[in-house]
Structure formats: structure tokens, C-alpha cells
Amino acid sequence: MMETTTSKNTNTNTIGLSRADYRGAPSTLCQGCGHNSISSQIVAACYELNIRPENIIKFSGIGCSSKSPTYFLNRSFGFNGLHGRMPSLAQGAMFANIHMKGLGVSGDGDTASIGMGQFKHLARRNAPMVYIVENNGVYGLTKGQFSATAEDGLVLKKQGTNSYLPVDICMEALVTNASFVARGFAGDPKQLKNLLKAAFSHVGLAVLDIISPCVTFHNKENSFHSYQWGKENEIALHDITFVPAKEEITIEDFEPGSTKEVELHDGSMVILKKLDQDYDPTNRVEALRVLEEAEHNNTMLTGLLYVEPCAKTMFDRYDLPDEPLNRMPNERLRPAPESMDKINRMLFLK
């Protein structure tokens, strides 16, 4: 489904599509909403990865985040499901054609509250799709209630003070054996695009928890989910570079000894350039530890936290034909008439 390089011609990629071919309808979200920058990076990542939009199926739940799939990839099918229940919809739909890539967009209310159960079971089954949580700590579409990722002590205009502890979506994903877990920040588009590219190339569930400030109801300077706090307190685990399969890695770009390469299942490489610490993204316990430490230090850790490139996916548990199930002709779906007698005999035919 993917080809390798972007074209020398800057107006189209190697499959001859322009950026416009990846766009959607104009956004109706607020000016400056973090979700809009995420939409832009989804367009950029898919364009640069030369993915055919027809090969993506978009899914979402309910909330501001879940409206966003109309704002990118017009040429993809999409289904806007129920609040917190997009994962089930996606898992069923993806069996129709196992060669297509799922792209789910959810929010912190949609995933960490009503949808926690489905999110966990999606991770457990390792359905091969990109699962983005546009995380702003607040319910936007219902005008400013606390979400389950809002930090303890957060004060919002109408709601007063939040007195409950927040859910950390990356930690939840990690303990449920998600095979790809990353955290991004809508205010860091360069890193975000590379994380998205790696996520699209991962064969399995790629959970991307993206801190995406809500400019209308929750953009307080001292809060975890704001642009300003994010910019001041974001600590990237590494500089992340994504090299598609078949593209040559020019190693001189990277200082020897300071990088870690992870080969994804489709042959592409994620190159992580060391910043101030050695980090092994294939160690789940280490991922949990650095998240715990970041929380303690009041910082926002971003980057690829964990990846298990060859984990068994939902499809690997079945022996499915290569050809899409939804194109299979009727005569291969209805058993032959001769079988009826055998069945009747199995049912004690007299």
C-alpha cells in the first residue's frame, strides 16, 4: 500500500497525488485548536508516505476530536460511530479488507472515560490501525467539563477544581500490551509528523496520545494541556526520524553511537537520535518508568515510548484469504447443496 520516496516533482508524491488529494472539508473547530494541526500533520504524513487515501478507512467516536476526520482524507471512507465505541466499529469493518489501514481519531473523553473498555480491548487484540487520542483534558463539545485526563487541582471556569487523579493514556496502552505507544504534542509538528509516519508503518495497533490544547475551554498557561506549558515543559525522548522501507539510510546524518534504529514490520526504519538519555523503546517496563518519572518531575515526555514491531495482530489469529472478504462472490460464501444432507445427518436425520 505504500511506496517509498516523495517525488522530485514537489507538487506530487511518487504515486502522482498532490497534497490536495489528502485534504478534507474545511475545519469547523475553533481557530487555533490543536486538533487542526494534527489534521494537517495527518495529511502531510500520508502524502509523504505515498499512501493511497482509498486504502485508509477513517473512524471516530464522539466529541471535537471525532469531528476531525471530515477535515482530512476526503477520498477515504469514514465512519463516525458512537461515543467511546469507535474501536468496535473499526475492528468489525477492517475484516472486510485486511489490506486496508485503519485510522481512528478519538479524544480523551471518548477514550479515557466512556471508551476505556473498548480502547483496552482494541489494544489487547492488536488490531492493525493508527489510534490517535487528541488529548486536551476537557470536554469541548459540551462546553468545558473536566475529562478523565485532567490533572488533579485543575481549575476551570464553571466546574471549579478537579479533585481526581488523571488517567495516563500511554500508561494504559502499555499495560494492555499495545504494540506501539507514542506521545506527541500538537505544538511540535515536526516530531508529530514523524511519529505519525512511524505509526502508519507499524503493523499492529499504534496508539498516539497527542496533547492537543483546547484554546476555548482549557488553555491555561500553567496547565499540562496548554500550548505554553507544553512548549516550556516538553521533553523529547529523542529526535525521531522516519525512513520508509527501500529508502537508503544516509548514516552520516547521524552521529555514530548516538542513535538507535528500530526496524518496523514493513521494513521501514525509525531512527531515534539520543538526546540527554539512552532510551530503549522496545522495553515496556522502561517506558512505564520514564512516564512515571516525567509525571513526578512535572514534565511532558514526548516521542516513541514503546514499539514491538512483530507482535501478532488481530488478523494473524485467523486464516483469512488474501482477497478482500467483501469482494468474495456469493458462490464461495454459500455452501454447496450437497452439504445439506451431511448436515441433516449430523442432526440425527431419521
One character per residue 89-128, x = contact with another protein (rule: CB under 8 A): xxxxxxxxx--x----------------xx--x-------
- Shortest Å, Cβ 214 to another protein: 21
Binding to another protein by residue 249, rule CB under 8 A?
no
One character per residue 266-305, x = contact with another protein (rule: CB under 8 A): ----------------------------------------
Binding to another protein by residue 8, rule CB under 8 A?
no
Q: Angle at the Cα of 26 (from 20 to 31), degrees rounded to 5?
A: 125
CA pair distance 130, 274, nearest whole angstrom: 25
Q: Angle at the Cα of 104 (from 103 to 108), degrees rounded to 5?
A: 150
Binding to another protein by residue 26, rule CB under 8 A?
no
Selection from 13, 15, 203, 170 nearest residue 94 by Cα: 203
- Shortest Å, Cβ 92 to another protein: 3
Q: Give the cell for residue 20.
A: 490536495
**8 Å CB contact between 221 and 237:** no
Binding to another protein by residue 216, rule CB under 8 A?
no
Span of 204-212, 239-247, 294-302, 334-342 interacting with another protein by CB under 8 A: 334-342
Residue 117 or 153 having the CB closest to another protein: 117
- Shortest Å, Cβ 68 to another protein: 11
Residue 257 or 337 having the CB closest to another protein: 337
Span of 136-144, 151-159, 161-169, 337-345 interacting with another protein by CB under 8 A: 337-345
Selection from 28, 20, 103 nearest residue 68 by Cα: 28
- Shortest Å, Cβ 315 to another protein: 9
- Shortest Å, Cβ 82 to another protein: 6
User: What angle separates helix 116-125 from helix 86-94, to the nearest 10 degrees?
Assistant: 30
Binding to another protein by residue 246, rule CB under 8 A?
no
Site for another protein in 126-145 (CB under 8 A): none
Span of 6-14, 32-40, 70-78, 104-112 interacting with another protein by CB under 8 A: 70-78
CA pair distance 47, 269, nearest whole angstrom: 18
Chosen residue from 13, 76, 136, 162 binding another protein by CB under 8 A: 76
Burial of 340 (0-12, 13-18, 19+ CB in 10 A): exposed
Chosen residue from 1, 15, 82, 245 binding another protein by CB under 8 A: 82
3-state secondary structure of 129: strand
Strands (E), 115-251: 129-135, 138-139, 145-146, 155-156, 160-161, 180-185, 206-211, 234-236, 238-243
Binding to another protein by residue 88, rule CB under 8 A?
yes
Span of 88-96, 177-185, 217-225, 243-251 interacting with another protein by CB under 8 A: 88-96
Q: Give the cell for residue 290.
A: 520514564
CB-based contacts of 292: which residues, under 8 Å, 6+ apart? none
Binding to another protein by residue 58, rule CB under 8 A?
yes
CA pair distance 227, 223, nearest whole angstrom: 9
Chosen residue from 37, 50, 68, 70 binding another protein by CB under 8 A: 70
CA dihedral 281, 284, 288, 294 (to 10 degrees): -10
**8 Å CB contact between 113 and 119:** no
- Which residues contribute to the site for another protein (CB under 8 A)? 52, 54, 57-58, 69-70, 74-82, 85-97, 100, 117-118, 121, 318-322, 324-328, 330, 332-337, 339-340, 342-344, 346-350
